[in-house]
């Protein structure tokens, strides 16, 4: 029995932070970073550490809360996905100038592909813009180590540091060694110094000079210098890689048998790249191939266009994830061996994601199309983005934009003298995150639209983290519950009604009422409140509304296409719909959907299809 523990990359990052004496941790959930914070809280309990751990309302707040601990002498960390870093970039860029008095690590998880994100952006570029050092782990085990190294680095130079894992690190799992937890023996100590912590532009200029000096020194810090792997033989060519691209390359070096012909370096700190290593690479090798995700951050810093191959030269594809098949092809070409032509994956019709069986969002979207069939439907980031399958999502831009876009659609159409019904949808977590300022703005500007807040009481997409309306914290402790209706009214909204969307006919009627208000008087808000079906299932509460499909089913596909419940399956052989008992939750909503009444509640013990 091994004493190594299976850890997901996010568990390993969390473990590394708690082992290194992190005292304050904050986050807003987002794939692939979501599991870091809940894991920090689990390790905190395991290690008996005293910490403040919080799901913050958004990434900006999370960064500011954690950063402030780090100017009070306590180690701190904030975690988020890469687009969350956009939200938190304002405090990050300023905090780089002001610095810290204890280690502060910003964990920003990138998603090359992208698998579950709006963009493939590279957080390392934002680190470069902010002038903060960034570390790039290749595996869960290395992510655990570098979490501690990042806090050390931050503390040694008094500057925020970034850890940039990618999806293939966050959501890889590996057997990882664990170190004992060190209880942080630190006293809070905030030294008042307004010329630093509240610096005006004249001081900021000096702080910028200091930051440039720190970055130059970090580019010579031994602990994060690139590492050469394999035998120390003379080679004409070198591969310089970071992150999981390094892991793919290292495995391929062994398989291709090129370990003693080509030098292989792992860059651990892509920015600032170690100055002496740049000189060494350019002095030692005729050709250098850079493998990194997803922007050419290392490649840009080895500034010799004639000898460096990478994304900028077209040797590596300019977009998309560096899958191992791609690394194999790029590497083989660089080394001059024939690359195997990989078998192409069949272009099958890959099943698209869909709202869960029993999900109340499905009812809301169905009702929205019933109430405003010719409407425009701005939406937002969450499970309910999948309302696109139901034809009830027209736009998705970024967190909170459903509300500002709804206002924008209204103003644009009114300028042309056109009237259109606009029904925006936003989840409860997203509303708290970034929906309040645009709602105030829309009310003040007299925008005319209906906003449906899809309130399932949880941040479902990322694994059911609590929202400010849930009333529980990261560790299950009770918190204050924010009153959503009160909040909406305080934004100046005069029509605010709450209903259960699974009561479909009543909900359609309410939406029509809201539309009348919106057309005549301005923003109307409908709160569609029904718990997430996954949460309901987890607590054992299954609905009792089992249904049957009667002989009247004409095979018109209305329920399959417009309601799109995975438990309603069209059977091509019989040209009828049947209920999939593996997935049906018995919510009973589809009874209201069938245009010929062929779906009806089941009697006790009745066969269902």
Partner 1 sequence: MSAGVGKPPLLRQQIVLSGVGGQGVLFLSRLLAESAIACGFPVLTSETHGMAQRGGVVVSHLKVGGFDSPLVRRGRADLLLVLKEENVVLHREFLADGGVLIVNARVPADPDPRLQVHTVDADALALSAGARHAANLILLGFAIARIGGRTAGGFFCGAEEIRQTLSRRQGVGNSRLAASLSAIDLGIAHGT
Footprint of partner 1 on this chain (CB under 8 A)?
Answer: 1-2, 4-6, 8, 31-32, 34, 115-116, 138-139, 168, 171-175, 177, 244, 247-248, 250-252, 323-325, 328, 342-346, 348, 350-356, 383, 385-386, 461-463, 566, 581-583
For the chain, the C-alpha Rg in angstroms (whole number) is 27
Residue among 530, 534, 519 nearest 585 (CA): 534
> Please, what is the minimum distance in Å from the beta carbon of residue 303 to partner 1?
29
Alpha carbons within 13 angstroms on the beta-carbon side of residue 293 total 32
| Nearest-angstrom CA–CA distance, 227 and 420 | 61
| CA separation for the pair 162, 200 (Å, rounded) | 25
Kindly tell me which of 512 and 537 has the beta carbon lying closer to partner 1. 537
Cβ distance to partner 1 smaller for residue 52 or 115: 115
CB atoms within 10 A of CB 576: 18
The nearer residue to partner 1, 168 or 237, going by C-beta atoms, is 168
As measured in angstroms, the least distance from the Cβ of 222 to partner 1 is 24
Q: Which is nearer to partner 1, 34 or 154 (CB)?
A: 34
- Nearest approach in angstroms of CB 327 to partner 1 is 8
Q: How far is the CB of 178 from partner 1 (least distance, A)?
A: 13
Unique residue bearing structure tokens 């029993």: 358
Quick one: tokens of 117? Answer: 């994100």
Taking residue 131's Cβ as centre, other Cβ atoms within 10 Å add up to 19
Q: Which is nearer to partner 1, 346 or 551 (CB)?
A: 346
CB of 395 to partner 1, least distance (A): 17
Work out how close the CB of 7 gets to partner 1 at its nearest, in angstroms, rounded to a whole number.
Answer: 10
Q: Do 430 and 382 meet the contact criterion of CB atoms below 8 Å apart? A: yes
| Token pair for 446 | 């007299």
CA torsion 382-383-389-390 (nearest 10°) is: -100
Q: Which is nearer to partner 1, 10 or 86 (CB)?
A: 10
Helix H or strand E encompassing 265: strand 262-266
590 secondary structure, DSSP code: G
Instruction: Give the residue with the Cβ less far from partner 1, 163 or 396.
Output: 396
Among residues 551, 554, 555, 542, which one has the least CA distance to residue 581? 542
For residues 96 and 203, give the distance between their C-alpha atoms in angstroms, rounded to a whole number: 14
Compute the least distance from the CB of residue 386 to partner 1, in Å.
Answer: 6
Cα gap 596→556, rounded to integer Å: 9
Report, in Å, the least distance between residue 6 CB and partner 1: 5
Between 66 and 247, whose beta carbon lies closer to partner 1?
247
Task: Tell me the closest approach of the beta carbon of residue 29 to partner 1, in angstroms.
Answer: 11
Nearest approach, Cβ of 253 to partner 1 (angstroms)?
9
Nearer to partner 1, 7 or 487 (CB): 7
Q: Residue 461 CB, nearest distance to partner 1 (Å)?
A: 7
Buried b (16+ CB within 10 A) or exposed e, 254-279: eebebbebbbbbbbbbbbbbbeebbe
Distance of CA 327 to the CA centre of its chain: 25
Q: How many CB atoms lie within 10 A of CB 557?
A: 12
Q: Which of 255, 265, 258 is nearest to 308 (CA)?
A: 265
CA gap 430, 446 in Å, rounded? 23
Element (H, E) at 251: helix 243-256
Q: How far is the CB of 453 from partner 1 (least distance, A)?
A: 20
Residue closer to partner 1 by CB (options 323, 602) is 323
**Residue among 68 and 117 whose Cβ is closer to partner 1:** 117
Alpha carbon distance 462, 177 (integer Å): 27
The answer to whether the beta carbons of residues 41 and 210 sit under 8 Å apart is no
Least distance (Å) from partner 1 to the CB of residue 314?
A: 23
120 and 317 Cβ atoms separated by less than 8 Å: no
- Distance, in Å, from the CA atom of 247 to the CA atom of 291, rounded to the nearest integer, reads 10
Nearest Cα to Cα of residue 242 among 299, 175, 283, 188: 299
Q: Kindly tell me which of 346 and 374 has the beta carbon lying closer to partner 1.
A: 346
Smaller CB separation from partner 1, 325 or 485: 325
**DSSP for 207-231?**
HHHHHHHHHHHHTT-GGG--EEES-
CB of 548 to partner 1, least distance (A): 17
CB 299 within 8 A of CB 312: yes
Residues in a beta bridge with 108:
80
CB-nearer residue toward partner 1: 101 or 354: 354
């Amino acid at each position: 029995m091994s004493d190594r523990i299976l850890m997901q990359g996010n568990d390993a990052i969390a473990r590394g932070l708690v082992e290194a004496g992190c005292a304050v941790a904050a986050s807003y959930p987002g794939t692939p970073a979501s599991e870091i914070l809940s894991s920090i809280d689990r390790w905190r309990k395991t290690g008996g550490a005293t910490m403040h751990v919080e799901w913050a309302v958004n990434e900006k707040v999370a960064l500011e809360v954690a950063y402030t601990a780090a100017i009070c002498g306590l180690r701190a960390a904030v975690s988020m996905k890469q687009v969350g870093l956009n939200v938190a970039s304002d405090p990050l860029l300023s905090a780089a100038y002001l610095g810290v008095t204890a280690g502060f690590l910003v964990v920003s998880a990138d998603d090359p592909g992208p698998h579950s994100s709006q963009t493939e952006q590279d957080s390392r570029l934002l680190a470069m813009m902010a002038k903060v050092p960034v570390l790039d782990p290749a595996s869960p085990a290395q992510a655990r180590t570098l979490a501690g190294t990042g806090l050390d680095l931050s503390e040694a130079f008094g500057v925020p540091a970034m850890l940039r894992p990618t999806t293939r690190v966050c959501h890889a799992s590996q057997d990882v060694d664990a170190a004992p937890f060190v209880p942080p023996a630190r006293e809070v100590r905030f030294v008042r110094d307004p010329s630093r912590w509240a610096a005006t532009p004249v001081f900021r200029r000096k702080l910028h000079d200091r930051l440039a000096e720190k970055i130059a020194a970090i580019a010579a810090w031994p602990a994060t210098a690139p590492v050469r792997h394999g035998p120390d033989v003379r080679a004409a060519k070198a591969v310089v890689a970071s992150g999981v691209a390094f892991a793919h390359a290292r495995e391929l070096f062994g398989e291709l048998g090129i370990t003693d012909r080509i030098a292989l370096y792992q860059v651990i700190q892509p920015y600032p790249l170690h100055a002496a290593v740049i000189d060494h690479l350019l002095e030692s090798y005729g050709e250098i191939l850079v493998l990194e995700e997803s922007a050419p951050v290392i490649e840009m810093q080895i500034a010799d266009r004639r000898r460096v191959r990478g994304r900028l030269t077209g040797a590596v594809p300019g977009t998309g994830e560096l899958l191992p098949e791609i690394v194999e092809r790029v590497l083989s070409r660089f080394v001059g061996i024939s690359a195997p032509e990989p078998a192409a994956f069949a272009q099958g019709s890959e099943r698209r994601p869909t709202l869960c069986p029993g999900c109340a969002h499905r009812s809301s979207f169905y009702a929205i199309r019933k109430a405003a069939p010719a409407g425009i439907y701005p939406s937002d980031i969450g499970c309910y983005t999948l309302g696109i399958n139901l034809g009830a999502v027209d736009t998705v831009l970024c967190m909170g934009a459903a509300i500002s876009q709804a206002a924008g659609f209204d103003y644009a159409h009114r300028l042309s003298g056109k009237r259109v019904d606009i029904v925006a949808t936003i989840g409860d977590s997203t509303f708290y995150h970034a929906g309040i300022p645009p709602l105030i703005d829309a009310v003040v500007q007299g925008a005319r639209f209906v906003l449906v807040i899809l309130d399932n009481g949880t941040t479902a997409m990322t694994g059911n983290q609590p929202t400010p309306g849930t009333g529980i914290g990261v560790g299950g402790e009770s918190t204050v519950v924010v009153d959503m209706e009160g909040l909406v009214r305080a934004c100046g909204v005069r029509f605010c009604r709450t209903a259960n969307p699974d009561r479909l006919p009543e909900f359609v009627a309410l939406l029509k009422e809201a539309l009348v208000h919106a057309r005549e008087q301005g923003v109307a808000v409908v709160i569609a409140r029904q718990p997430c079906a996954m949460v309901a299932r987890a607590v054992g509460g299954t609905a009792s509304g089992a249904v049957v499909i009667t002989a009247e089913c004409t095979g018109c596909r209305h329920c399959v296409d417009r309601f799109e419940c995975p438990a309603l399956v069209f059977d091509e052989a019989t040209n009828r719909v049947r209920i999939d008992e593996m997935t049906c939750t018995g919510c009973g909503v589809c009874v209201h959907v069938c245009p010929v009444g062929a779906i009806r509640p089941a009697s006790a013990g009745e066969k269902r299809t």
